[in-house]
Structure 1
């Protein structure tokens, strides 16, 4: 508004009009003394903010001299300050009728008025006229060009709205207080959010099913006298990273803290994430990748391109969290780039920014990571009416990519949480999850075990664990191949492979029930061979692929920890090729695994190998999937005499 008001002040303070046409207006110099004084009184009242009295004085001038253009323009400035944009526009148009070239600032001001009225096409026309009248060296020309570009963008966005039907969450979640920062577990069963009551921010959780939300309750373990603000929830619902400000153990104004859910469902005492993540500046708005190994967050630390940038840190078992790195100029601008949300697909980033041509001050954007180029794509504005003239908050997207959650005041005094169906063009890549239940094969009792997920495409892994009920949940992105291993000391490990590389659409969750065999009990008899589901060879050869090594290392560790067992490695093929060739290939493949075990320190007298060729299929050889199942490597444990 200040820009408009200064423009108006400039107009009616000009002593010499810029028009070269015959004057149809009355200049101040032609007013009689009485009305000149009234005009000056009106100016003084306007400067004092006494707008109604100023209008009355200007009207007294205009009653005697109706074409006093400076009085008309001064009134338009007052109406703008009073947010009476119709009257402001009427005054400006009246001045154009008197002299269309009296001052170019009239058109600049008309563009601002039409912006406030939401008439962006008209704003473009008026700003275009302004630019045609001013010299290229004019001080405000660059700003005018920026505004015109923005008006054009908004006008086009309004002409081409995206599908958007926001639905407020039920009364259990939305209250008369403010609720914001929604976070959802991968299976959708846990819904976390922040509620602010009398300035105090706390994190709550509601358990839900497909039809309803349960009554939310405070996450008491992380409560403090300070605020627990914007947070990130891991896909499995086991890790919570949140923002804490002005704390005694903080390194800056706002720091990131973490808490882990224990096997009984409670949360650990929050811990500061330390000086690697937190700086003397401001860190907030965390987002954690589905595998828990990449943390995105907003920061104003040294090295930022703008007021606030999005940064990321990688976690490894050996090093912990790495020094954060700026994710670069494709995402970050000279403005503020904030509220990152990395979808569980690991490739789709949603965030808000005020450093781009947009619809409001802060707009929501989406960018995808191009793994081939090793860079983020050009961010896409989510469009109108998702983005409005107001500030948009952060966005959270469900695992399947169809539902988005966001916070908005919707013109009210408080903020509520809404959900809407996200249109296909800006949805993330399809993602599913595996729900795992692990029990003891003898007693049926639930087991607390480690769960390891190897992403064979990325040569990386992540880990989780089952709770006291033997349950765990892990996110899986389509387009990748995964190896899953469940292991616990004293038990035979369980392995599984998920080939999702040819799947490009959303699929149903994968349910796994694994029963682990306790090896230390005398009554245990292992009668059947066990498939090593994550052993892979080059096609038609006995050369082990690198992605096989984690499985071989686990088998090696199993034998080291259970010295009372010997092992036989068994190779199998499908029925493609001759019997002789398949028997030889299966033997060579079994031998390759045998040799790796010997290299790993297992005594040669504990390991044997045999090839079975195509003679013991466990699936049909009539389909590609069946033949792939039959091409397998197994191991059989036998007790030592």
Structure 2
């Protein structure tokens, strides 16, 4: 919100010059300041005002204008001092000055003093002041009650846990222009954000290098970025599709609409750009955020049926691929102010957003709310200091590991305008349910070619989680609550079914678990053989990975239970052929790790024999260290592969 209107200020200054006897030098400096201010040359205006005050220390009108000019340039300390001098010299010169001074006190975390000034403004009679400021007063009155509530909230703010210091994103991510509305890909290696550094708003892309450092930003490309405004891009969880807002495009229904594009991250190619069917209206629609399962879209709109400025809405994906009729999130979330930048966490229960309508530390703050079992949203909780500040926050996204928030803010320590920051967040502000992302790749065992169109059926404790399909790269990407056992059946016509079971738990700093699965061809007839084949006997293949602590090889009760459940899935145990292979990480020397991997495989084999499996059915091997880039905890394992013939 701009502090004051230029027309009002210029009129005020001119009246002040006529009303006060000034020395020639002070008057000339004041006239120069008016000229510079009118032409948005704020630094020059501030210099002239300081000269005028030097010539006439009791020059209240110059103090008044200096407060506004210094605030515009971000020199908040000078602005606060100017208002203090104004109130000492002429406390009845300007009622609006108390509102402006209160905003400055908020930016300095002086909420008690800010509240005092807001109340002075609220209860003051405009007739008692030298100048009339009806235009400014109307503007300020719209925000007065909200600001008072924010001050009261900040004074009694709830403690949400230890929050780290906000850090500017390094390198070229930020500039003197605006950078805002960040979003992360699920593995955290790519960040998209909006910037107006090119003159219009475009989507920029940041990637991490091999050291985990952010590289220089680059445009997402001309398929999305145009001479018009584009922004607030969000990846689907697999990173293969991008939803974004496009403004003033040829087929846009309102000021901005939500579009979707296919994205090839390896080759950085954007394709198949088109509107998200069913989401858009004749109003402003923007800032999409899609749920981890891809079935719910949260977005911001000014359409009819809202509670104020911009509201957050949600739509569900229908069977025909269109988005259903959007629903407003309701008055617990949406206010008479602006709610923006929703981010739905992978758990589908934790929603982050930015609002200037809920009480906060000043201007717009970031909030967190939870979807309750009854379908209602909990009361939004302010994210607290670190993420929030007395300045404007615009956009928030939480890292895949739930430990960091990425957001934008116009804090004075930035490079200019809105800048991108990151900040550690306390556990109380993290998503309610910790998730692990399962990144699976399916191949033909004979040709090593990726298998598209295979069905992946996922189960947990006997309940179906869902059925998914591999894409053209043979990939499937799932969001799973961490710390649970899952079984999965992968099937494709012409191939043996693959049945696996695993315990998926997120390790520190690692939210993605990759699995590679090979399907065995079943009954394929080579084209050069003109013979009829006998119908193939059904074969069933299952696998299980058992993980170990560093240096350990004995089995826990949970691991024994997993192995037993795996074997119970076969009707004829005597027909089974089982491969048990042990592995180790690279902690220790080569001989130690080879022995450790053999012991791990041996203990698993011993337990399976106790369950009735014979030595002739089992092949046991220990292979030592796994030479790969996977995390150490993923290397400390035994792989069990079972095939019935």
Per-residue deviation, 1:105: 9.1
Is the partner of 1:222 in helix, strand or coil?
coil
Larger radius of gyration: 1
Aligned 8 A contact 2:407 2:422 in 1: yes
Of the structure 1 ranges 353-362 and 490-499, higher mean CA displacement relative to structure 2 is found in 490-499
Per-residue deviation, 1:397: 1.3
Residue correspondence of structure 1 range 361-510 to structure 2 within 5 A: 361-370=363-372, 372-409=373-410, 410-413=413-416, 415-428=418-431, 429-452=433-456, 454=458, 461=466, 463-468=468-473, 470-478=474-482, 484-496=488-500, 509-510=512-513
For 1:344 and 1:506, locate their aligned partners in 2 and report how far apart those are by CA, in whole Å: 16
Per-residue deviation, 1:143: 7.0
**CA separation of 1:217/1:452 partners in 2, compared to 1, >3 Å: closer, same or farther?**
farther
**CA separation of 1:511/1:149 partners in 2, compared to 1, >3 Å: closer, same or farther?**
closer
For 1:492 and 1:621, locate their aligned partners in 2 and report how far apart those are by CA, in whole Å: 26
Residue correspondence of structure 1 range 20-419 to structure 2 within 5 A: 38=21, 77-83=64-70, 84-93=79-88, 111=102, 114-115=105-106, 118-125=109-116, 146-156=146-156, 163-171=163-171, 173-174=173-174, 179-200=179-200, 201-204=202-205, 206=207, 208-209=209-210, 211-213=212-214, 217-220=218-221, 222-223=223-224, 225-226=226-227, 227-261=229-263, 266-274=269-277, 276-318=278-320, 320-370=322-372, 372-409=373-410, 410-413=413-416, 415-419=418-422
Of the structure 1 ranges 426-435 and 147-156, higher mean CA displacement relative to structure 2 is found in 147-156
Of the structure 1 ranges 489-498 and 327-336, higher mean CA displacement relative to structure 2 is found in 489-498
**CA separation of 1:142/1:343 partners in 2, compared to 1, >3 Å: closer, same or farther?**
closer
Aligned 8 A contact 1:4 1:77 in 2: no
Of the structure 1 ranges 255-264 and 477-486, higher mean CA displacement relative to structure 2 is found in 477-486
Per-residue deviation, 1:473: 3.2
Per-residue deviation, 1:342: 0.9
**CA separation of 1:440/1:359 partners in 2, compared to 1, >3 Å: closer, same or farther?**
same
Of the structure 1 ranges 264-273 and 244-253, higher mean CA displacement relative to structure 2 is found in 264-273
Per-residue deviation, 1:289: 1.1
**CA separation of 1:210/1:93 partners in 2, compared to 1, >3 Å: closer, same or farther?**
same
Residue correspondence of structure 1 range 612-627 to structure 2 within 5 A: none
Is the partner of 1:301 in helix, strand or coil?
coil
RMSD (CA atoms)? 5.0
Q: TM-score, normalised by structure 2?
A: 0.64
Per-residue deviation, 1:456: 5.8
For 1:180 and 1:103, locate their aligned partners in 2 and report how far apart those are by CA, in whole Å: 35
For 1:144 and 1:508, locate their aligned partners in 2 and report how far apart those are by CA, in whole Å: 44
**CA separation of 1:113/1:282 partners in 2, compared to 1, >3 Å: closer, same or farther?**
closer
Per-residue deviation, 1:123: 2.8
Per-residue deviation, 1:571: 4.3
**CA separation of 1:162/1:532 partners in 2, compared to 1, >3 Å: closer, same or farther?**
closer
The aligned counterpart of 2:621 is: none
**CA separation of 1:489/1:317 partners in 2, compared to 1, >3 Å: closer, same or farther?**
farther
For 1:464 and 1:236, locate their aligned partners in 2 and report how far apart those are by CA, in whole Å: 12
**CA separation of 1:485/1:359 partners in 2, compared to 1, >3 Å: closer, same or farther?**
same
Aligned 8 A contact 2:435 2:506 in 1: no
Per-residue deviation, 1:359: 1.7
Per-residue deviation, 1:379: 0.8
For 2:80 and 2:265, locate their aligned partners in 1 and report how far apart those are by CA, in whole Å: 60
**CA separation of 1:619/1:413 partners in 2, compared to 1, >3 Å: closer, same or farther?**
farther
Aligned 8 A contact 2:291 2:348 in 1: yes
Per-residue deviation, 1:210: 5.6
For 2:644 and 2:272, locate their aligned partners in 1 and report how far apart those are by CA, in whole Å: 45
Aligned 8 A contact 2:192 2:203 in 1: no
Per-residue deviation, 1:228: 3.4
Aligned 8 A contact 2:451 2:470 in 1: no
Residue correspondence of structure 1 range 563-602 to structure 2 within 5 A: 571=571
Aligned 8 A contact 1:179 1:416 in 2: yes
Residue correspondence of structure 1 range 498-537 to structure 2 within 5 A: 509-521=512-524, 529-530=540-541
For 1:175 and 1:59, locate their aligned partners in 2 and report how far apart those are by CA, in whole Å: 36
Per-residue deviation, 1:618: 5.3
Of the structure 1 ranges 352-361 and 110-119, higher mean CA displacement relative to structure 2 is found in 110-119
Aligned 8 A contact 2:239 2:265 in 1: no
Aligned 8 A contact 2:332 2:377 in 1: yes
Q: TM-score, normalised by structure 1?
A: 0.64
For 1:56 and 1:511, locate their aligned partners in 2 and report how far apart those are by CA, in whole Å: 67
Is the partner of 1:230 in helix, strand or coil?
strand
**CA separation of 1:109/1:475 partners in 2, compared to 1, >3 Å: closer, same or farther?**
closer
Per-residue deviation, 1:320: 3.2
Aligned 8 A contact 2:206 2:214 in 1: no
Is the partner of 1:356 in helix, strand or coil?
coil
Aligned 8 A contact 2:436 2:506 in 1: no
Is the partner of 2:423 in helix, strand or coil?
strand
For 2:364 and 2:238, locate their aligned partners in 1 and report how far apart those are by CA, in whole Å: 30
Structure 2: segments with no counterpart, 5+ residues: 38-44, 71-78, 127-136, 526-532, 545-568, 574-606, 613-641
For 1:420 and 1:476, locate their aligned partners in 2 and report how far apart those are by CA, in whole Å: 25
The aligned counterpart of 2:584 is: none
The C-alpha deviation readout for 1:64-104, integer Å capped at 9, x for no partner, is xxxxxxx88656544433444313213424567xxxx9999
The C-alpha deviation readout for 1:558-612, integer Å capped at 9, x for no partner, is xxxxxxxxxxx95489xxxxxxxxxxxxxxxxxxxxxxxxxxxxxxxxxxxxxxx
Is the partner of 2:317 in helix, strand or coil?
strand
Per-residue deviation, 1:257: 1.1
Is the partner of 1:229 in helix, strand or coil?
strand
Aligned 8 A contact 1:287 1:340 in 2: yes
Per-residue deviation, 1:376: 1.2
The C-alpha deviation readout for 1:516-549, integer Å capped at 9, x for no partner, is 122232599768544699xxxxxxxxxxxxxxxx
Residue correspondence of structure 1 range 602-617 to structure 2 within 5 A: none
For 2:271 and 2:325, locate their aligned partners in 1 and report how far apart those are by CA, in whole Å: 25
